[in-house]
């Protein structure tokens, strides 16, 4: 230092953590119900490694019936909001999500609902 060439070598290392979302329970099975009766359940969304505030969006499936009609029998509500919040200790708060299904037509479905953040992850 002091105009002398430095013989110090600095090595930096680290790990990159990508934000991810886990679910409790990890999969969902709604019970069969009579036509036009709502069935619902609650899941906990567990965000991990989010470094800034974000918001959850949901892509709900569209179902095609045998006659070609298309319906959206699922609905989702976030009673405490859908923001991913970072607490003072750096962890992310769980998000409560109510998922419901109602159809006036007979239908069964096996597929995915997509929960994404504002960046499409």
What pairs with residue 73 in β-bridges?
none
Task: Name 22's Cβ contacts closer than 8 Å, sequence gap at least 6.
Answer: 45, 46, 48
CA distances from 30 to 2, 77, 95, 120 (A): 72, 16, 20, 27
- Enter the pTM of the model: 0.77
Assess contact for 74 and 99: CB atoms under 8 A: yes
Structure-model confidence comparison of residues 23 and 120, the more confident one: 23
List of domains in the chain: 20-116 (2.60.40)
pLDDT of residue 89: 83
Mean pLDDT of the chain: 88
Using one digit for the tens of pLDDT, what is the confidence trace for 39-83?
Answer: 999 999 999 888 888 899 999 999 988 888 999 999 999 999 999
DSSP 8-class letter at 57: E
Residue 121 has pLDDT above 90, yes or no: no
Assess contact for 31 and 39: CB atoms under 8 A: yes
Assess contact for 78 and 18: CB atoms under 8 A: no
C-alpha 60/C-alpha 97 separation (Å) is: 13
Residue with tokens 């992310």: 92
Residue with tokens 């505030």: 53
Residues in the chain: 121
């Amino acid at each position: 230092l002091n105009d002398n060439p430095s013989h110090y070598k600095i090595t930096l290392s680290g790990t990159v953590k990508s934000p991810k979302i886990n679910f409790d329970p990890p999969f969902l099975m709604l019970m069969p119900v009579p036509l036009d009766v709502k069935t619902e359940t609650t899941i906990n969304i567990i965000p991990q490694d989010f470094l800034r505030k974000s918001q959850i969006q949901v892509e709900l499936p569209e179902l095609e019936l045998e006659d070609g009609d298309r319906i959206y029998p699922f609905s989702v509500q976030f009673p405490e909001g859908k923001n991913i919040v970072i607490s003072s200790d750096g962890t992310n708060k769980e998000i409560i999500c109510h998922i419901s299904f109602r159809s006036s037509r007979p239908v069964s479905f096996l597929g995915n609902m997509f929960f994404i953040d504002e960046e499409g992850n």
